[in-house]
Structure 1
């Protein structure tokens, strides 16, 4: 995995139409994006399709990346996350949601690796600081942020899953993200 400066340079060159830089960007980041897509979509064929769509979008929109607004990998993963959520919304009838009565612990047991979303969110990325900031969040904020951003749950699905009112879920996610921004900005 390339460092943030190298990814930013590759994104900049891609924005200028440099196909070789785009290929290097793909080689440096596709494994991370594919892992995220696979976690959210839970189907290899959908993840492969979404990955292709992501890189088409990245090729077209690389000029919109701004280093002062965040790390390049964060921008790339955001593109992937939104593509995955769009795909889920389009194919919603095919998506199996967990049963209503399922307990919260099982929400973290869907991955074959046995790791919970928090562990998967930081695995392989070497972002100890993110893990530290996540650990500082109250349980409900941490769980709602991770389920929303790493598992692709909508606010409505989180409300059902966590058995909390929709407004409360939105507050947990908003406050959790705000606290993460503050912690990571320190």
Structure 2
């Protein structure tokens, strides 16, 4: 009997695995390809995110991105393309983290939230009463144009049409009325 030598199969190239994935859509094929570069992906994520757990999450999220993007992209050099995809993913994570505002948890404030809300409601109600009182002290034309502009959301042209006043007079009445209200409100503080 002749001994049979075990013939080792040559490792598949990135290009062959990429083509096989595009043809079959098989996640097993993509996983074999991706596993070759998980150290590169993780290292890149760690470089940008500077957090091990966030980097591990990013490695998983990037795999999901590959599932979506590879079928529609023409990739010549998978390793280079994957590096750029990873870098962009990390930069997007960093940008979105900057937009999120972190607030320190303060139990004392949390326990009194209902009272704080009640205080702000009461203050607002007092401000409305002051405003109503100050509105009553405005000259009649100012009061009318202020009500039309702010309370009924009418533009200058609509007020001109409704009142028959000139456009410049309407503008002047609203500006003067707003200034007079501000002075009155400050006086009653």
TM-score, length basis structure 2: 0.42
Choose 1 or 2 for highest CA Rg: 2
